Amino acid sequence: MLLADFGTSYCKILNTETRQGPEIIATRDLDAGFIADLATGHNAARRSKHSVNELTALARGGEEIIGGEDFVLLDCGSRDIKFVRYSEGRVVDMGWNAECGASMGFTIELLAKYYDLDYAKIPIPDTGFSITCGVLGMSNIFDAVISGLSETEAVAKFVRGIARNAYRFAGSPERLYLSGGLCDNPLFVGSFPCNVISLGRFVLLEGLQVS
Amino acid sequence: MTEKVGIVGIPPRSVIADLHQRRALIFDLDEPQIRASLDLTASHLPRVYCAVLRTVVLNAMHLHLDRIYIDVGPGKCDCALHVSTILRSMLSIPVHCTRNQDMESAGIPLCRTRMPLLEKMTAITAGVLAPEPEKGPAACRPTAGFWGVPPRDFSLLTLFPDTTHVYGWTRCMENKTPADLGLESYVNPDVPTVFFAQSFCAKTALAKFLADHHPQGLYLDCNVTAGSSARAKIEAFFELSQPSFSVDRKKG
C-alpha cells in the first residue's frame, strides 16, 4: 500500500510492501500523476484514493509512537501548525492554525537559503521577536538589521519567536512532543522553554499506517 | 401596501406579535438576504467587525425597508447598539431599539430533536419571525453538541451528526428568551461539544471559558466563512472524540 503525507513543501511517502523507509520528495518535484492509496495533507483528496484528516493522522500517529495517556503533540509544518492534547487517553484539546500562524516553517527555510545560514551553528538567543506569523515576522528581521543587529542574530530572534508562539499555541505544556521537518532544526527545537521530545517528520505517516 | 420591516437580534415577542397583526413582511437582517459583497459596508463599519452585524448593514443598504427593530439589550450585544446608531445615520427610516428581556419559555424541541443540523438551525432562526412557537418534534439522545450563535456560514453545520443537540444563544433563540444567561451557559458535559462564536463577538469569551471547562469541548471561532482548517478541526474533533478508537486499540 502506498501511503503519503502531502506537505506543502515536502511529501513523505511510504510503500508498506517494501522494507525501505519513508521517502521525502520536494512537493514541486513530485510526479504530476502520482496517486497514493491512503494519504493526508493539503493535496490528499486530489492525490489519493482515500484521505485522512491531518489532525486525525497526527493524533493516531502520536498514540502509536508515544503510547502514553497524557501528552501534547505539536506538528510544525511548512504552512501551518497543529496540536493535539491527550488526557487520560482521550483527546481533550486540539488546534489547527492555518491563517494567523501561517507559513512559519516555509519562512524559516526561506531565510536560511536567502541569508546562507546553518541553523545548527547559530546559538539560541536570550530574547526573541514577538511574532505570530512567518510573513508578518519578516518585518522584525528587516527592522533589526537596520538597527544594527547582524542578519544571523536577527533570524535567530525570529526563529525563537516562532518557537515561542508555537509553544503558546499548544497550551504551554511542560513536556512537548514535536513532529515535522522543524525537528531537524536545533535552533528551533532549542528555543522552546520546555522539555521537547522530537519525533521527526513521519508521525502522520505512522498515523496513516494504523488507520 | 405591505410594510417591509427588518429585525436585528430577537425583538420582544410583543413586537413580533404586533408586526404579525399588521401583516408586515419581516426580514431577519442577521442572515444574508441579498447577494452582495460585505466589503460594500466598509464605508459604514470597520472591516474587522462581527460578520453578522456587517451582514445587517449590507441588508439594510439594499432591502428598501420601511422600518427596523434592532435589539440592543442583554439579549444581543453592545456592537448592535452601536450599529443602531449607524443605521439611523445612513437610513431615512425609523430605527427602533428594543431591549428584549422576555423570560417566558417557549420550549426548545428543535434544539433537541434528530434532524440535520443545518435544517435544524434554519428552522430555529425562521422561528424568530413567529410570535408563538409551534409544537415541536420529539427529542433524541444527543451524541454531539453545538453551542453558540447561528454561524454566518451555515455550511459548517453539515459536519455535525443529526443527533446533535443545540445549546447556547441559539437555544435561547428557540426559547424566545435571548437574555437568559443561565440557559445560554447550560452545557451537557457528557457529549462532545463544539463551542462556536463569531470572530470579534463578545461571546467568544464565554465560548472559550465553557470549552476550557467542558470535558470534551472544542472552541471554534469563524468570521465570514468557515475555512478548511475550521472544517478539519470539527471533523477531527468528532472522529477523535469517539472513545472506541483509543480504548479498542489499547485492548487489542
- Give the per-residue pLDDT at B249: 42
Question: What are φ and ψ of residue A28, in 5° steps?
Answer: -70, -20
Distance (Å, whole) CA B34 – CA A96: 32
What residues have CB less than 8 Å from A187, skipping those under 6 apart? A119, A120, A122, A124, A156, A159, A160
Hey, are the CB atoms on B216 and A92 less than 8 Å from each other?
yes
Closest partner residue to A53 (CB to CB) among B239, B247, B249 is B239
User: Does residue A87 fall inside a structural domain?
Assistant: yes
Task: Label the pairing between strands B67-71 and A71-76.
Answer: unpaired
User: Does residue A199 fall inside a structural domain?
Assistant: yes
Q: Which three cell numbers stand for residue A56?
A: 486525525
Q: Which three cell numbers stand for residue B103?
A: 423570560
Name the residue range of residue A75's domain.
Answer: 53-204
- Give the per-residue pLDDT at B183: 97
User: Does residue A25 fall inside a structural domain?
Assistant: no
Contacts of B235 in chain A (CB under 8 A): 53, 56
Distance (Å, whole) CA B121 – CA B134: 15
pLDDT greater than 70 at residue B154: yes
Distance (Å, whole) CA A163 – CA B204: 26
Nearest residue of A to residue B242, measured between CA atoms: A90
User: Does residue A16 fall inside a structural domain?
Assistant: no
pTM given for the model: 0.82
Which of B208, B213, B240 is the mutation pick for testing A, counting most A CBs within 10 A?
Answer: B240
Task: Choose among A150, A110, A168: nearest CA to A134.
Answer: A110
Q: Can you tell me the ipTM of this complex?
A: 0.74
Q: Into how many domains does chain A fold?
A: 1
Distance (Å, whole) CA B98 – CA A22: 63
User: Exposure of A116 by Cβ count < 10 A (0-12 exposed, 13-18 middle, 19+ buried)?
Assistant: exposed
- Give the per-residue pLDDT at A176: 98
**Residue pairs between chains A and B whose CB atoms are closer than 8 Å:** 50
- Give the per-residue pLDDT at B245: 41
* CATH T-level topology, domain B4-98: Rossmann fold (3.40.50)
- Cell numbers 472552541 correspond to B219
Cβ density class B165-181: b for 16+ within 10 Å, e for less: bbbbbbbbbbbbbbbbe
Contacts of B228 in chain A (CB under 8 A): 98
Read off the pLDDT of each residue in B60-78 and give the average, rounded to a whole number. Answer: 95
Distance (Å, whole) CA A108 – CA A138: 10
CATH number of domain containing A151 = 3.30.420.40
Contacts of B239 in chain A (CB under 8 A): 53, 56
pLDDT greater than 70 at residue B211: yes
Please provide the DSSP assignment of A159-201 as one string: HHHHHHHHHHHTT--SEEEEESGGGG-HHHHHTSSSEEEEEES
Lowest mean pLDDT among A45-49, A98-102, A193-197, B237-241: A98-102
- Give the per-residue pLDDT at A93: 86
- Cell numbers 546562507 correspond to A116
User: Does residue A10 fall inside a structural domain?
Assistant: no
* Contact predicate B186/B167, CB 8 Å: yes
- DSSP lists the bridge partners of residue B197 as B221
CB of A209 less than 8 A from some CB of B: no
Closest partner residue to A59 (CB to CB) among B227, B232, B240 is B240
pLDDT greater than 90 at residue A95: no
CB of A53 less than 8 A from some CB of B: yes
Distance (Å, whole) CA B178 – CA B2: 28
- Give the per-residue pLDDT at B252: 37
Q: Please report, for chain B, the start and end positions of each structural domain, with discontinuous segments joined by +.
A: 4-98, 109-245
* Contact predicate A74/A86, CB 8 Å: no
- Give the per-residue pLDDT at A105: 83
Which helix (H) or strand (E) element contains residue A86?
strand A81-87
- Give the per-residue pLDDT at A2: 95
- Give the per-residue pLDDT at B196: 95
Pairwise pLDDT comparison (A169 vs A194), residue with the higher score: A194
Q: Which three cell numbers stand for residue A6?
A: 502531502
Closest partner residue to A89 (CB to CB) among B233, B239, B246 is B246
Lowest mean pLDDT among A119-123, B215-219, B222-226: B222-226
